[in-house]
Structure 1
Amino acid sequence: MTVADWLAALDRRAELRARAGLTRTLRPRAAGDAVVDLAGNDYLGLATHPEVTAAAARALSTYGLGATGSRLVRGSTDAHHALEDALADWLGTDRALVFSSGYLANLAAVRGLVRPRTLLVSDAHNHASLIDGCRISGAETVVTPHADVDAVAAALAAAPGRPAVVVTESVFSVDGDLAPLAALHAVARRHGALLLVDDAHALGVTGPTGAGGVVAAGLAGEPDVVVTATLSKALGGAGGVVAGPAEFTRHLVETGRTFIFDTALPPAVAAGVLAAVGLARAGDGLRAELAERAALAVRRLNGAGLDVSTPDAAVVSVTAPGPEAATAWAAACRERGVAVGCFRPPSTPDSRSRLRLTISAGVARPDFVRALDVIVESAPVSVRSEPGLRAPQSRTKEGS
């Protein structure tokens, strides 16, 4: 194949994606734009909090722009270690290890838990980073139906004597439903398996002091549980964390390729996130506001005849008739000053397209109410009457 043939093939694939309504476009965002943001993940509004930005600015002037190397070379600063100590204390684990992104943290965690003959049992709605972690690990992976504890138990029972890891999110990133963590842990422990939980959309939002889904389920510090999270959502920064037994974090320091060979998180970001952790732990009022707004969104959108997921945290999904309709709907909202997430295959775990709303306490309440009106008024005509669009209601709460 010539270079011209290769480029032509890429053009044909782009054309096919466009016909299917799956084109993706980068749009620059100006600082301080006036858009009402229901698309970003800054749940608690901490990304621009004065204490967070001041802490980052102090570290920036002290350490400079970057970490200058990997954690094992010159990139492991006092700011990184202070953040790790704070995260471990918050999550109730022995140790925490900070990565430059949540994606890399998940790749490291999955790979680090794999031994010879390990079986990975992965939820069908897991995030792409967990899916890629399973693939890169080379371990046999069984994908079970979403939040199906019986299916997980069956997969483990079919592999007696083998090391196994149950892999799940706590709050799933597309529909915002909560995994049955306590039940999954009980099944995993019964079969001698480990439990890996990605707490990305729960950390800062759910649980006592916002410590996340694992703490809320009473599993903090359990020796057979490993927690991962991103620091870019409720904490408003960047980076990722793996938390669990000290023996496991030591294993990642010594063997984790996405830790060893990656330039460290900038110290200024680590310092800003550390300030955000303190604010998040004291943010019960912000969490109450998030819950109230999520309930308001469901009432308003359901009342308008839209199909809405039942939120267990601060993610609300609204089903669209298809990818092209979802794209047009999101664009219509954007034209009226409201940013919403537009999720289409392959970003969704099924064939449905959605608008995804991420509730933020940092948005002024009148603006939030107006944004809900814009979403309703911009909806495609068919979205309120077309059969078969009902989003699955959450059935994954503990004990249900």
Structure 2
Amino acid sequence: MIEAVGLTKRYGDKTAVYNLSFQVRPGAVTGFLGPNGSGKSTTMRMILGLDNPTSGTVTIGGYPYRRLPNAARQVGALLDAKAVHGGRSARNHLLSLAQLSGIPARRVDEVLGVVGLQDVAKRRSKGFSLGMGQRLGIAAALLGDPQVLLFDEPVNGLDPEGILWVRNLMKSLAAEGRTVFVSSHLMSEMALTADHLIVIGRGQLLSDMSVKDFISANSADFARVRTPQTEPQLREKLAGALSAAGGHVLPEQDGALRVTGLALPQISDIAHDTDVRLWELSPHQASLEEAYMRMTQGAVDYRSTTDQKAGLQQPLPPGATPPMPVPGQGQPGWYAPPPPQHGYAPPQPAQPYGTGYGAPVAPPAPNGANPYAQAPAPSATPQPPAASPVPPAAPPAPASPAQPAAPVPAAAPSPASDAPQGQAAAAPASLAKAPVSDAAPTTQPEDAR
């Protein structure tokens, strides 16, 4: 038997387990439940002497684990299935454990057969799958044929056949009078395996009772009653009779009635007395998962939140207008060019280079320029064209200090200023070095006609 009295464990300012007291009795499978971070693994480590409690005691058969003579022959445990030297084969790993505890070598082959690893006994454990590693850890726990067994998530990584095997193994070990203490997060499996439950939350004891009592104490049992759908007046008649008898009746979405406060035979007698036919009269009891969630809802430390995708978007600068929707965005094959590297640029009116199929192609951007930057918006006042390329001239002679430099007259507008907006008149100076035709193409590619 495992007995904990006032067990407390602190890590600095963190209290992992506080004043925990319970008993794990032989002859039954005791489930150890609790949310992540509730102190289950810490409690198991203190039971096995791997951690020293800050206060309180925990004993196995009346003795602390470290004072048990040949503890490996009396207690078997699986806490971490990966705690195996990967270079050793499964058989050599178990053989080394057997030699340390004075267990005969023939026992190694026996437990390999029990867990189903006899065909891979000579393979190195580093090549084992997660389920095979779990089987090897269970074999190590069974090696000394102990009377007390502790398992932490024993079905982790096992397939359905392996889960069924572990379930039957736990029950058979308890039926032999052994003490079996199992920690797991699989509520459906605990409901089929465990006889007794110890539930903790935030290091403190929440419940210590049988599985049946735990479900009844943390769920509202009710009866489901359904009358012929073609006769709704019978449903109302029965609901009134059940309420008059002291029952609490609630309608369900599919037209049935949820009745609490009355036993099933009493509901049947009331329906018979009121001459109401029943299509369904069935008891409903919450599952272990529902009862567990209701019990531990206030002791959960890690809760998910709604994915706030809007929080990932960068706010626009003050006074900036939001970008216009892009045609075709979100459709299959849509491609978004990389954003400009010089900060946010407000959207500009469309340029004559267009976006349709067969439209003229924009001239290439000079080296170092952003290929996706948009041209500046046209203004009402005509802008002077870019200067024509001229050959480099000799540097002018320095002006006399007594004579100010003559002002340079502004260049007269050239006929190019009458060209359509956004072409030669709006071209950047860096593009003026290459001749650009002002005339729009008069023909389209042959495949665009």
TM-score scaled to structure 1, two decimals? 0.25
Q: From the CA coordinates, give the structure whose radius of gyration is larger.
A: 2
Q: Which has the higher helix share?
A: 1
Higher RCO (C-alpha 8 Å, min separation 6): 1
Q: So what's the TM-score if we normalise by structure 2?
A: 0.23
